[in-house]
Structure 1
Amino acid sequence: MASAEQHYSPPRPTFDAPVKVLVVVAPYYKDIADNLLAGATAELEVAGASYEVVEVPGALEVPTAIGIAHRQSNFDGYVGLGCVIRGETTHYDTVCNDSSRGITMLGLSGACIGNGILTVENRKQAEVRADPKDQNKGGGAAAAALHLVALTRKFAKPPSGVGFKPAGTVLMAETTKGPTTA
């Protein structure tokens, strides 16, 4: 059983500059979503990150909301939270696959996302995974987002200097008169 296994988690990253995270939660199963959110926000608070929480109707809307924010806002990272419990139809497979694929595609395009959308066979599995005192998958998703923010900052490239120079930049004159101001 997965709950008896021990899993390694890297140490919580530290930051020199503030971190701002958007938490997108689909509260279709409200009690489960509330536990996921409690775990995620506790992890963000311990790390000193500021955060904003928005709700969407379901797991399929989580990547869309993150994509909108990634294009139009200034968040450093994102946490997607929700729960999909297997039912009697193939809709479960569609929701699981498409929400995961959407989050993965956003991550590959540069968004720092922790995926906390549970995909489970039954409510009991969801309750155990969402509980901040048990498997705490919400906290794990927030930690994943923070690790990706730290990695992005570690590998950040300095400005390349290509393009227009800001006003006041000192330029060397083509003559022997010395530097001039642009």
Structure 2
Amino acid sequence: MATAEQHYILPRPSFDKPVKILIVVSPYYKDIADNLIAGAKAEIEACDASWDLVEVPGALEIPTAVGIAERTSNFDGYVALGCIIRGETTHYDTVCNDSSRALQLLGLQGLCIGNGILTVENRKQAEVRAETSDQNKGGGAAAAALHLVAIGRKWAAPRKGVGFTSDILLAGDTDGTSTA
């Protein structure tokens, strides 16, 4: 088994207003999920943010739960946690690809999501990745969500007249005073 290569980790973001994160986890492999959750909670708390936790049956339900929460709640970001270990059938490929694709589509719609769903060949790989004192992928997913929240807040500032705006001008209306 190859050792993890060292990589650069961004400094933690800071916030001037409270941040609320929803952790959505599939505890199919409970011990692995518990380590992912511990890492995510610690990272969120290190940024003085708050979190809530919801469990779903499997990785395929994680994006649906995120979508429901986005429509019905007031979370700033989401952390998706779970573990998919390759088995003897192609079901592994379906679960890995579809859960990841659904989370990516939600992200492209503007949701701030850190994807911490492990996709591994065996239990040992999952244990190493979930362990908070080793690769801490739960903490990494929380950090990703928090960084996206910070970016979203940065860019949500009032426009200064540069770039594209959402103002719609009707034909012949040169000063934006149309009442149509």
TM-score over 0.5 for the pair: yes
Tell me, what secondary structure is at the counterpart of 2:65?
helix
1:54-73 correspondence runs (5 A)? 54-73=54-73
1: CA distance, partners of 2:64 / 2:131 = 26
2:5 corresponding residue in structure 1: 5
- Whether 1:52 aligns to 2:52 is yes
1:144 corresponding residue in structure 2: 144
- Check conservation: 1:3, 1:135, Cα contact below 8 A: no
2: CA distance, partners of 1:48 / 1:141 = 16
1:96 corresponding residue in structure 2: 96
2: CA distance, partners of 1:148 / 1:115 = 12
1:170 corresponding residue in structure 2: none
Give the 4+ runs in structure 1 shifted more than 6 A: none
Normalised TM-score (structure 2) = 0.87
2: CA distance, partners of 1:71 / 1:128 = 35
1:123 corresponding residue in structure 2: 123
The alpha-carbon deviation at position 72 of structure 1 amounts to: 1.2
1: CA distance, partners of 2:142 / 2:2 = 20
2: CA distance, partners of 1:99 / 1:4 = 24
Deviations 1:158-182 (A, max 9, x none): 389x8xxxxxxxxxxxxxxxxxxxx
Deviations 1:58-94 (A, max 9, x none): 0000000001111111100000000000000000000
Task: Please identify the structure whose Cα radius of gyration is greater.
Answer: 1
Tell me, what secondary structure is at the counterpart of 1:96?
helix
1:16 corresponding residue in structure 2: 16
- The one-letter code matched in structure 1 to 2:97 is N
The alpha-carbon deviation at position 4 of structure 1 amounts to: 3.4
1:135 corresponding residue in structure 2: 135
1: CA distance, partners of 2:94 / 2:149 = 29
1:166 corresponding residue in structure 2: none
Over 3 Å counting, the alpha-carbon distance change for 1:14 and 1:34 in structure 2 is same
- TM-align CA RMSD: 1.5
Deviations 1:35-64 (A, max 9, x none): 000000000011101010000000000000
Gaps of 5+ in 2: 160-164, 168-180
- The one-letter code matched in structure 2 to 1:58 is G
2: CA distance, partners of 1:136 / 1:2 = 16
2: CA distance, partners of 1:84 / 1:40 = 18
2: CA distance, partners of 1:146 / 1:74 = 15
2: CA distance, partners of 1:115 / 1:60 = 13
The alpha-carbon deviation at position 2 of structure 1 amounts to: 5.2
2: CA distance, partners of 1:71 / 1:139 = 25
1:113 corresponding residue in structure 2: 113
Tell me, what secondary structure is at the counterpart of 2:3?
helix
Tell me, what secondary structure is at the counterpart of 1:78?
strand
2: CA distance, partners of 1:155 / 1:77 = 15
2: CA distance, partners of 1:98 / 1:149 = 24
